[in-house]
Copies of this chain bind each other. A is one copy, B any other.
């Protein structure tokens, strides 16, 4: 079973219980309206030792940062401002208090950087370190961005170069830093959310090849990718391995950049404003198309980013 298959089955099961609340599911975060003027977003993400990280790969402080960053990135993808988080933490029997606090320090540092308050938590014994964070954010109803807003012809763009975290999995130093301390693109998400010409947005936690398929499918489109911005460290590593750097970055997960679909006429102006504001390029990677396939330079792309369940998952 693949992650998307099982999510679909769960959605079908939940559909049999009528919602008491209008909630938008199936995006990076779910949206609901606690009062007339407010739209809230909520998301959750679990990190498991041995699956998402190893103690050899990173410190517990890094793992805490990563867990919080992955969640905050989901709020960024909705154009939301972080408000608060809860932390459910499972740790093994031989863990000592110093280790629990080390992990919490990483969580708290990442949260503080994004002005997110830790509202509460739960502690439990577990076989391995397990970190389940849930985050709540707020977004102006006029700014909220779903995956489903794209249409054929929209420009696909990413907020920064890709592939660094994948390079980190191969031991590349700068890549390891990207893997351990990803920066949620909160400011970028909020900036892009204010533009009416940004039609769809999501984060790239599972890798561009997997996530572009999700955005395109939600928007009832296919996509053609033509140019992938590659992080320097990923380019060096891929070339050393004799691999095409863009394909290497295309297949990499754990990049916390954002993927956006932008109305074509607005792209240049928005990209110029983005570059001025963030000192980085809003890089065009392709376009949404009517045809349902996902193409890279004319060839079909199979999903090759991170899938938690596919036996052949290759990071």
Residues in B whose Cβ lies below 8 Å from that of A17: 108-109, 111-112, 118
Given contacts A84-B21, A86-B30, A132-B132, contact A46 B108 (CB under 8 A): no
Task: Output the least CB separation between A150 and chain B (Å).
Answer: 21
In the complex, the count of this chain's copies comes to: 2
Q: How far is it, in angstroms, between the C-alpha of A117 and the C-alpha of B19 when the chains are bound?
A: 6
Interface residue? A291 (CB, 8 A): no
Inter-chain contact B1/A97, CB cutoff 8 Å:
yes
Number of A residues with CB within 8 Å of any CB on chain B:
72
Inter-chain contact A138/B19, CB cutoff 8 Å:
no
Interface residue? A273 (CB, 8 A): no
Q: How far is it, in angstroms, between the C-alpha of A126 and the C-alpha of B42 when the chains are bound?
A: 23
Interface residue? A315 (CB, 8 A): no
Binds B, one of A48-56, A179-187, A256-264: A48-56
Q: Which of B13, B16, B25, B46 contacts A130 (CB 8 A)?
A: B46
Residues in B whose Cβ lies below 8 Å from that of A23: 84, 117, 119
Q: How far is it, in angstroms, between the C-alpha of A48 and the C-alpha of B132 when the chains are bound?
A: 12
Q: How far is it, in angstroms, between the C-alpha of A5 and the C-alpha of B97 when the chains are bound?
A: 9
Given contacts A84-B30, A88-B45, A111-B17, contact A51 B120 (CB under 8 A): no
Task: Output the least CB separation between A15 and chain B (Å).
Answer: 10
Residue ranges of A at the interface with B (Cβ–Cβ < 8 Å): 1, 3, 5-7, 9-10, 13-14, 16-17, 19-21, 23, 25, 29-30, 32, 34-35, 37-38, 40, 42-48, 50-52, 83-84, 86-90, 96-97, 100-101, 104-105, 108-109, 111-112, 115-128, 130, 132, 134, 136, 138, 308-309
